[in-house]
Amino acid sequence: MAVVPPWAADLRLDELATALGPGAVGEARLAILLTPLAAPDAVAYRQDVFRDLELDAVGGALRRFGSALAEVRAILERAGRMRHPAERDRWVLDALERHDDAVEELAASLATAPLHARGLTAVRDHLATLTGSPSFSQRRSDVAAARQALDRVAVRLRIVQQQVLVSPARDEPDLAEEIRDTFARIREGDPAPVRVDVFSTLDMNPLEAQVLERVRRLVPEPFARLASTVAAHQPVIEPSLARIADDAAWYLAILDLLAPLRAAGLDCGYPELTDDGSLAAAGLFDLVLARRLVADGRDVVPSDVSVGPRERRVVVTGPSQGGRTSFVRALGQLHVLAAAGCPVPAGSASVPLVDSVRTVFDRPERLDDPGGRLRGELRRIRGLLAAATPATLVVANEAFASTTAEDALALSRRLLDALGERGARSVAVTFLEELAEDPGTVSIAATVDPVDPTARTYRFTRRPADGLAHAQTLAAHYGLGADAVRARIRR
């Protein structure tokens, strides 16, 4: 995915790419997250896999398997560039061992895990078949035998002037040990270790190769066995397992994304799907903002929301800087994640399965567009309306801000009406409180702190818009409201 779609950027979901994986990997994983599933059964399939992976026994096993495969790939990639067969084959042998260890470990972990997801029981069965096959055990024993033979090789090198003499090792005193014994009595504490640099080429140099060749002549058998074993057991990585690891990595990346939030006490539950357009969420929060707040050790204020089956038009009001945009982003994210079969940023939720989430956010215009912001905005809305279906959710944020309030009110009504005609649901943030009073509209507003009416609560509930205007609220925020000033003076 080259570019994150604009609606996803408006919901700040673009910021998740780097959290999901490095570079293109993260982008590809985000793309899966942003693609709604078509059928409720597909959502249930993924939710089941997520639930199983949340068990440490299952998630941990697939995590270890994924990093083992990555390691194996890296070893093979490096080995492919090597010139000396004895060096290259030894690396491939390591890769074989690492790979087969990982496969066995995964098979064993899944065999005993209480799996419920269809996706994972299939993996378990596949692994059981694979590890139970005679060819797999043959490969394991061949590799182990080759390795043991190599491990037993021990040689003596005598270096005199320009000559290296290779002979079998014999029992001679270890000089380092002798010196350590002599000086044992003066040791006290742990002085900083002395750095000893051994400069060594990355891969085998010609002298090493020549020495190795003498070693091979001295003890030919282990080297012959190495070559035949490596040749006999290709490819190293079983292709079906590579696909399993990649799929699991997506699920695990999503869970990792949510882990710090859950650790901070923010529940992320699995939503139920509704088929009547109704929506309910308890403990809803903006996933992306919460990640930042939690990382900074700050509090996140979740909200509850409930919208009935026929209530397809929601208007959100409240003081600016009061969390309105985050609230509607959270609503949008809720739908996107639910449609991808993922846990959602809410403790519990029931949501309709959307075919798309679209946005009408104020966006800076290119300078060479003489028609200005309004025209661009309307053009985008035209495309949006053409694609809207009853399964579409539109999130609007201070739409038509570039025009007069009267114009904006009229245009907003038209937009919301048009969406209503197409059966699409809409959530709109606005300072135009009249919109919240229109018939058929659910009004959601920021709650008021009963102790300090000027404080921001960042919590939203269903209630009428209450007329706190922009400038007044801002003044109150800085402690310049009439009551606050008096309270300060009296102190």
Partner 1 sequence: MRTGLLFPDRDLVLDALPAPDADLVTDLELDRLFAAMAGGDERIDRVVRRVVPIGVRGGQDFAGAPEVDAVRYRQAVVLDALAAPETITGLYRMAVEAVEAERRVWGGALRSAELVLRRSVDVLGGLLDAVEGMRDLLARDRNRLHSAALLGLADRMAMDLDAAFLGEARGQLARLGDTTLVATAALGPGNRAAGFVLRRPPDARARLRDRLRADRGRGLAVDVTLHDQNAMNALAELRAQAVAPVAAVVAESAAHLLAFCGRLRDETAFLVGCINLDGALAARGIACGMPRPRPAAEPGLVAERIVDPCLALAVEGPVTGNAVDTSGCPLTVITGANGGGKSTLLRAVGVATLLHSAGMPVAAAALSAGLRDGVLVHFPRSEGADADEGRLDAELRRLRRLVDRVRPGSLVLLNEPLSNVNERDGSAVAGELVRGLVAGGAEVWLVTHHHELAADLHARPPGPTRFLRAARGEGASRPFRLSPAPPLVTSFGTDLWAAEIEGHGPRMADGSDAGTIG
Site string for partner 1, 115-154 (x = CB under 8 A): -----------------------------------xx-xx
Is 81 among the residues that bind partner 1 (CB under 8 A)? no
Burial class (CB in 10 A: 0-12, 13-18, 19+), 221: exposed
Give the C-alpha distances (Å, rounded to integers) separating 239 from 36, 243, 352, 417. Answer: 28, 7, 37, 53
Identified binder of partner 1 from the candidate list 86, 331, 344, 445, rule CB under 8 A: 86
Closest CA to 344 of 354, 447, 213, 22: 354
Is 491 among the residues that bind partner 1 (CB under 8 A)? no
Is 478 among the residues that bind partner 1 (CB under 8 A)? no
Is 169 among the residues that bind partner 1 (CB under 8 A)? yes
Identify which of residues 156 and 298 has a Cβ nearer to partner 1 in the complex.
156
Sign of CA dihedral 34, 39, 40, 43: negative
Which helix (H) or strand (E) segment is 360 a member of?
strand 356-361
What is the number of other CB atoms lying within 10 angstroms of the CB of residue 137?
Answer: 12
- Extract the runs of DSSP E, i.e. beta strands, from 260-312: 272-274, 279-284, 303-307
Is 166 among the residues that bind partner 1 (CB under 8 A)? yes
What is the number of other CB atoms lying within 10 angstroms of the CB of residue 188?
Answer: 6
Identify which of residues 81 and 490 has a Cβ nearer to partner 1 in the complex.
81
Identified binder of partner 1 from the candidate list 2, 22, 23, 172, rule CB under 8 A: 172
Q: What is the DSSP letter of 91?
A: H
Identify which of residues 152 and 366 has a Cβ nearer to partner 1 in the complex.
152
Is 15 among the residues that bind partner 1 (CB under 8 A)? no
- Touching partner 1, residues 187-206 (CB under 8 A): 187-189, 191-201, 203-206
Identified binder of partner 1 from the candidate list 12, 63, 90, 99, rule CB under 8 A: 90
Site string for partner 1, 232-271 (x = CB under 8 A): ----------------------------------------
Q: Rounded to an integer, what distance in angstroms lies between the CA atom of residue 246 and that of residue 260?
A: 23
Which helix (H) or strand (E) segment is 48 a member of?
helix 40-53
Place of tokens 């025209």: 375
CA 159 to chain centre: 54
SS3 378: helix
Identified binder of partner 1 from the candidate list 159, 386, 482, 489, rule CB under 8 A: 159
Q: Find the shortest distance in angstroms from Cβ 217 to partner 1.
A: 7
Tokens of 368: 């060479």
Q: How many residues bind partner 1 (CB under 8 A)?
A: 66
Q: Rounded to an integer, what distance in angstroms lies between the CA atom of residue 108 and that of residue 127?
A: 9
Q: What is the DSSP letter of 195?
A: P
Identified binder of partner 1 from the candidate list 162, 386, 439, 478, rule CB under 8 A: 162
Peptide bond into 235 cis (omega under 30): yes
Identified binder of partner 1 from the candidate list 182, 235, 406, 467, rule CB under 8 A: 182
Is 490 among the residues that bind partner 1 (CB under 8 A)? no
Identified binder of partner 1 from the candidate list 44, 55, 82, 374, rule CB under 8 A: 82
Is 387 among the residues that bind partner 1 (CB under 8 A)? no
Binding positions for partner 1, rule: CB under 8 A = 82, 86-91, 94, 150-151, 153-167, 169, 172-176, 178-180, 182-183, 185-189, 191-201, 203-208, 210-212, 214-215, 217-218, 226
